């Protein structure tokens, strides 16, 4: 493809020497799992996020599972979340035997709708005999934080924990606060395509609370106590590889600059795509900043999206649909009994949304080409 969807090669050209030096350091000391790079990374990222504790782990999915295990989530518990996200968010809930309760999304930000969340919490509390409202996982879709100014009071007033799924929003802010400093626990992913990504899988969990930090450290390594051969609870094998941490340390040095470059690319898109009939550009809510993990547009309808994506494909320009099938309609959650129409805003967005190439090294000339193709 002449215009890459995500250009990791251009990024690597900037960090080549630092990455190789970091990997060589791991090869020299030989602590390939949970080496000294882990604590260094945890210290740097917790400081960046203005949060007391950070716990590196093997993936963003493991980060969510560890967070839920820290709150002892299990059968009979209801955890409220959005269906307009990657499978991992709700999957983590279900893997622990709990029930994801899906909440519709805001039509502008595509994040969880606080009004529908309030309704769903009340419904479980008032009408469910077999479920106990336990917690909320808010998802920051495409790099923009959810409306935590309204979500956090709902959690606190109903005795629910709040987990921030910042897999796509690491580096973003909400009302001046780093997104990973919000909620009881925040989780992120370092999958290569994420704003801050490694060259494999990786993740991190953030918490202010000292006791939660101790639980997360224990859960990460099979529920260990004072040492790895004392097991005081059930846990997982959620350790982060030293090489991936070394790569992240190298890439983190240029991360603030990359956030600025992503914002500049988003602003160019806004100007270039303004006024195209039937096309809606993304909006960042007042008080938020986005790290633009994706730049996602809404077509007029599904047929219009097919037309526009066909034009892009003919011009050898990649475009991706995130996400074509909301989780409440996926076969994996058929047991919940949802049917089409249950969450109309989410379903309507899924039929219209598509994402353009987005990364810090996106050339203005390439964006002009993309806009020209979409204008026809």
pLDDT at 211 over 60: yes
pLDDT reported for residue 342: 98
Measured between alpha carbons, how far is residue 27 from residues 20, 24, 253, 258 in Å? 10, 5, 21, 28
Whether the Cβ atoms of residue 230 and residue 224 lie closer than 8 Å to each other: yes
**DSSP designation for 299:** -
The residue written with tokens 């295990």 in the block is 69
Q: What is the mean pLDDT of residues 211-219?
A: 98
Which run of H or E residues covers position 223?
none
pLDDT reported for residue 43: 98
Three-class HEC string of 89-101? HHHHHHHCCCEEE
Whether the Cβ atoms of residue 296 and residue 284 lie closer than 8 Å to each other: no
pLDDT reported for residue 2: 82
Q: Spell out the domains of the chain, with CATH numbers in brackets.
A: 8-101+110-252 (3.40.640.10), 256-375 (3.90.1150.10)
Chain-centre distance for alpha carbon 175: 18
Whether the Cβ atoms of residue 245 and residue 35 lie closer than 8 Å to each other: yes
Distance CA 266, CA 32 (A): 38
Distance CA 242, CA 49 (A): 21
Q: What is the pLDDT of residues 250-304, one digit of tens each?
A: 999 999 999 999 999 999 999 999 999 999 999 999 999 999 999 999 999 999 9
Which tokens hold the place of 31?
């602590």
Q: Nearest Cα to 244, choosing from 42, 9, 4? A: 42
Burial 333-364 (b: 16+ CB within 10 A, else e): beebebeeebbeebbebbebbbbbbbbbbbee
- pLDDT grade, residue 248 (50/70/90)? very high
pLDDT reported for residue 376: 87
Q: What is the mean pLDDT of residues 174-179?
A: 98
Distance CA 263, CA 291 (A): 7
Burial 26-49 (b: 16+ CB within 10 A, else e): beeeeeeebbebbeebbeebbebb
pLDDT reported for residue 227: 86
pLDDT reported for residue 209: 97
Q: What is the pLDDT of residues 326-344, one digit of tens each?
A: 999 999 999 999 999 999 9
Length of the chain: 376
Distance CA 376, CA 368 (A): 12
Whether the Cβ atoms of residue 160 and residue 135 lie closer than 8 Å to each other: yes
pLDDT reported for residue 1: 54
Q: What is the pLDDT of residues 133-159, one digit of tens each?
A: 999 999 999 999 999 999 999 999 999
- pLDDT grade, residue 228 (50/70/90)? confident
Chain-centre distance for alpha carbon 289: 15
Beta bridge partners of 165: 139, 187
Q: What is the mean pLDDT of residues 198-216?
A: 98
Whether the Cβ atoms of residue 171 and residue 257 lie closer than 8 Å to each other: no
pLDDT at 181 over 90: yes
Average pLDDT over the chain reads 97
CA angle 178, 86, 70 (to 5 degrees): 60
Beta bridge partners of 161: 135
Q: What is the pLDDT of residues 15-63, one digit of tens each?
A: 999 999 999 999 999 999 999 999 999 999 999 999 999 999 999 999 9
* Backbone phi, psi, residue 134, to 5°: -120, -45
Chain-centre distance for alpha carbon 255: 17
CA angle 84, 199, 169 (to 5 degrees): 35
């Amino acid at each position: 493809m002449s215009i890459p969807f995500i250009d990791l090669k251009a990024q690597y050209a900037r960090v080549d020497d630092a990455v190789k030096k970091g990997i060589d350091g791991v090869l020299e000391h030989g602590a390939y799992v949970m080496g000294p790079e882990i604590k260094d990374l945890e210290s740097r990222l917790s400081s960046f996020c203005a949060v007391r504790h950070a716990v590196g782990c093997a993936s963003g999915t493991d980060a969510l599972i560890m967070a839920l295990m820290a709150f002892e989530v299990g059968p009979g518990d209801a955890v409220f979340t959005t269906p307009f996200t990657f499978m991992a968010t709700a999957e983590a809930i279900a893997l622990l035997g709990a029930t994801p309760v899906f909440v519709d999304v805001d039509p502008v930000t595509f994040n969880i709708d606080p009004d529908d969340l309030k309704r769903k919490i009340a419904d479980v509390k008032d009408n469910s005999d077999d479920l106990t409202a336990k917690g909320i996982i808010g998802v920051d879709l495409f790099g923009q934080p959810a409306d935590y100014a309204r979500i956090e009071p709902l959690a606190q007033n109903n005795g629910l924990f709040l987990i921030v799924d910042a897999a796509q929003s690491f580096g973003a802010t909400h009302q001046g606060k780093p997104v990973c400093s919000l909620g009881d626990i925040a989780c992120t992913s370092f999958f290569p395509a994420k704003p801050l990504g490694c060259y494999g899988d990786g993740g991190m969990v953030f918490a202010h609370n000292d006791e939660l930090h101790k639980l997360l450290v224990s859960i990460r390594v099979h529920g260990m106590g004072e040492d790895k051969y004392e097991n005081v609870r059930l846990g997982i094998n959620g350790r982060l590889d030293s090489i991936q941490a070394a790569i992240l340390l190298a890439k983190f040095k240029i991360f603030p600059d990359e956030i600025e470059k992503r914002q500049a690319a988003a602003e160019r898109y806004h100007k270039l795509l303004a006024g195209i009939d039937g096309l809606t550009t993304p909006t960042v809510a007042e008080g938020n900043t986005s790290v633009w993990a994706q730049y996602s547009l809404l077509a007029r309808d599904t047929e219009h999206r097919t037309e526009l994506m066909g034009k892009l494909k003919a011009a050898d320009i990649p475009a991706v649909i995130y996400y074509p099938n909301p989780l409440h309609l996926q076969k994996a959650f058929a047991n919940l009994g949802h049917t089409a129409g249950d969450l109309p805003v989410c379903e309507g967005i899924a039929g219209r949304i598509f994402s353009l190439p987005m990364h810090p090294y996106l050339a203005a000339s390439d964006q002009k080409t993309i806009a020209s193709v979409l204008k026809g």
